[in-house]
Amino acid sequence: MAALGSPLRTLRGLLRELRHASARAGRPYRDTPAYQHVMAAFRAHRVTSEKLCRAHQELHFQAATYLCLLRSVREHLALHHEYHGKGERSPDEVAGLVGFRLPQQPGGKG
């Protein structure tokens, strides 16, 4: 199993992704039920000096998995919006998408 890293880092990553998702919806991310659930779950499963909570590791694994899902969905949407077909494109625009430049014809014909 891969190392999960710090639970605080995972929590911050989740909150960052929730912030991105709520920015598209146009409302503050702290008012969303997802934010309240994540914060309540992390507060309820934190490890104190009196108890060692095995569910904390399970919660951290689930949170890291959900963080991966949120990040992947956001990056997929960004790529989809960038490269999704927009109808007919000119040859110059298509060449620019893949990083090429079309040669210029002599006499200013192209």
Closest to 70 (Cα-Cα) out of 3, 5, 22, 2: 22
Hey, where are the domains in the chain? 7-72
Model's pTM, two decimal places?
0.63
Residue type, position 76, single letter: H
**Could you give the angle at the alpha carbon of 32 between the alpha carbons of 38 and 11, nearest 5°?**
30
2: left (phi over 0), alpha (psi -120 to 50) or beta: beta
Contact 101, 95 (CB under 8 A): yes
Tokens at 26, concatenated:
């146009």
Which residues of the chain, if any, have pLDDT below 70?
A: 1-3, 47-56, 108-110
Report the half-sphere exposure of 2 (CA within 13 A, side-chain side): 5
The pLDDT score that the predictor gives to residue 1 is: 45
